[in-house]
Amino acid sequence: MLSSSVCKGQTDMDSLSKSRRSEIMSQIRSKDTVPELKVRSLIHRRGYRFRLHCKTLPGKPDLVFSGRKKIIFVHGCFWHAHACAKGKPPKSNLGFWLKKLEGNKRRDAQARRKLRSQGWRILTVWQCQLKHAESLTRRIVAFLETDT
């Protein structure tokens, strides 16, 4: 008997060749992503200034507000395995992707622990939250303006 995934036309095989998949994946950037640029624009329009991708801090935070001792990470839902529709792993090569995404989550948690131990306050903005720019802006401003 065939499994339901096979009956629905889903398979474990990638629809692209290995070289084409590699080419596509190589074009994905780790910084200056569209979600990051949108968040930076929202914050900059509000008059806040920040440093980008500070290599001396754990996790190379996307936005660093040194004087406030605050950090904002802008995470893509897929790459950081967010619990939303965009955060689902692909159906092909599932073993590889689950291991990769779990490793990303572990690395993120470790960086946050180190940063907190150094006295930094952290806000994570998820890609899916950009749909609601006004509420996201209020959340970011509240984060930046509170002392605790």
User: Which pLDDT tens digits describe the chain residue by residue (148 residues)?
Assistant: 333 333 344 445 567 676 765 565 555 666 778 899 999 999 999 999 999 999 999 999 999 999 999 999 999 999 899 999 999 988 888 898 899 999 999 999 999 999 999 999 999 999 999 999 999 999 999 999 998 6
Task: Please check whether residue 31 lies inside any domain of the structure.
Answer: no
Task: Please check whether residue 1 lies inside any domain of the structure.
Answer: no
Number of domains comprising the chain: 1
- Domain of residue 63: give its range: 48-148
CB neighbour class for 38 (10 Å; exposed up to 12, middle 13-18, buried from 19): middle
Q: Which pTM does this prediction carry?
A: 0.80
Buried residues in 97-130 as b, exposed as e (16+ CB within 10 A): beeebeebeeebeebbeebeeeebbebebbbbbe
Residue with tokens 């398979």: 11
Task: Please check whether residue 37 lies inside any domain of the structure.
Answer: no
Distance CA 64, CA 88 (A): 29
Task: Please check whether residue 86 lies inside any domain of the structure.
Answer: yes
Bridge partners, residue 26, by sequence: none
Sequence-distant contacts of 93-98: CB under 8 A, at least 24 apart? 93/12, 93/14, 94/12
**Residue among 45, 106, 33, 27 nearest 75 (CA):** 33
Task: Please check whether residue 13 lies inside any domain of the structure.
Answer: no
Task: Please check whether residue 15 lies inside any domain of the structure.
Answer: no
| Tokens encoding 71 | 């950090």
* pLDDT value of position 91: 85
Task: Please check whether residue 103 lies inside any domain of the structure.
Answer: yes
Task: Please check whether residue 64 lies inside any domain of the structure.
Answer: yes
User: How many Cα atoms are found within 13 Å in the side-chain-facing hemisphere of 79?
Assistant: 15
Query: What's the CATH code of the domain at 108?
Result: 3.40.960.10
